[in-house]
Homo-oligomer: A and B are copies of this chain.
Amino acid sequence: MTTTRVVALSGGVGGAKLALGLTDAVPGDNLLIVANTGDDFSHLGFAISPDIDSVVYALAGLNDQQRGWGRKDETWTFMSALGDLGGETWFNLGDGDLAMHVRRSEALRDGKSLSAVTAEIANVLGISARILPMSDDRVATMVETASGPLAFQHYFVREQCAPAVTGFRFDGIEDARPHPALMTALADPALEAVIITPSNPFVSIDPILALSGVRDTIAACTAPVVAVSPIVGGAAIKGPAAKMFRELGFAASALGVARHYAGLIDGFIFDTVDAEAESEIRALGMATLVTDTVMQTLEDRQRLAGEALALADGLRQGG
């Protein structure tokens, strides 16, 4: 087992972009990417892990960049036929994507752990970074809304994030054990950085942090903790993060994100369009880096990852 030099906490597409960038600077399994599994759900008999898959597809070069989610060169014959048979079609599953769910579901039925089958899949796809589910135990993010709680995918996909959010609940979080490999990496004095990718703080990063001991261990960790804001100019690059900040009564801004992570992180990276918030963010007790955070090209991903690692380096050496 190689030493983990960098731990990245990731949700789906946004996190996967930075994770891909990190693979450029951190070779092989020196990089440990911890994926949120609070979005995981069982549907049509499949065990679906959307955030793990987003990371796997991105790192394997299989992700669709135009659509922004799922696999490239995808076909949709299955869903169309399922609709013709009167099946449920609100959660769109591409034909190629199904292979992932079938493969994973089979392995879980055979008694393998989610982390074991994730490692197998990453390996067969030639991914050398280590992709780890936050836990092998089941955690289910529930979105509390004015009209009652919704399972995450019901909120996110079926309801298209329309209901106003009043809070979140992570069912099973008390009993779920964070993956031991995460705890081992965080306790290792050789760890150089913990990167919180620009995924949704509430539903992608907080479930990881809410696992028993994780938040405290990260806060106490000798390696610097650097977060990248998923909010740019008051809007989320993708998904409902800005809407959630507003509905919960927080500022939907880089400052709002920085406040959310205050006490946990040592460094915060946010976009140049939000530069005027820098002094307020610094006042929260964190180092800052103002840069272009919108990752459109592979070069954007690699540059931003490099900047995050450099900020951590600076904090570790001088900080």
Q: Please give the residue numbers on chain A whose beta carbons come within 8 Å of chain B beta carbons, in ascending order.
A: 44-45, 71, 73-75, 77-82, 84-87, 94-100, 102-103, 105-106, 109, 120-121, 124-125
Residue ID in chain B nearest A96 by CB atoms? B81
Inside 8 A of A81's CB, which chain B residues have their CB? 71, 95-100
Whether B45 and A84, one on each chain, are in contact in the complex, defined by CB atoms closer than 8 angstroms, is: no
A86 to B119, CA, bound (A): 13
A259 to B84, CA, bound (A): 43
Shortest CB-to-CB span from A84 to chain B, Å, is: 7
Whether A103 and B87, one on each chain, are in contact in the complex, defined by CB atoms closer than 8 angstroms, is: yes
Q: Chain A interface secondary structure, helix, strand, loop or mixed?
A: helix
Shortest CB-to-CB span from A307 to chain B, Å, is: 34
Question: A44's contact among B71, B84, B106, by CB below 8 Å, is which?
Answer: B106
Inside 8 A of A121's CB, which chain B residues have their CB? 85-86
Question: A77's contact among B45, B80, B86, B94, by CB below 8 Å, is which?
Answer: B94
Question: A99's contact among B82, B96, B97, B125, by CB below 8 Å, is which?
Answer: B82
Inside 8 A of A106's CB, which chain B residues have their CB? 44-45, 87
Listed residue (A78, A81, A96, A100) with the most chain B CB atoms within 10 angstroms of its CB:
A81
Could you name 30 residue pairs across A and B whose Cβ atoms are closer than 8 Å? A44-B106, A45-B102, A45-B106, A45-B109, A74-B77, A75-B75, A75-B77, A77-B77, A77-B94, A77-B96, A78-B78, A78-B95, A78-B98, A81-B96, A81-B97, A81-B98, A82-B99, A82-B102, A82-B103, A85-B121, A85-B124, A85-B125, A86-B103, A86-B120, A86-B121, A87-B99, A87-B102, A87-B103, A95-B95, A98-B98
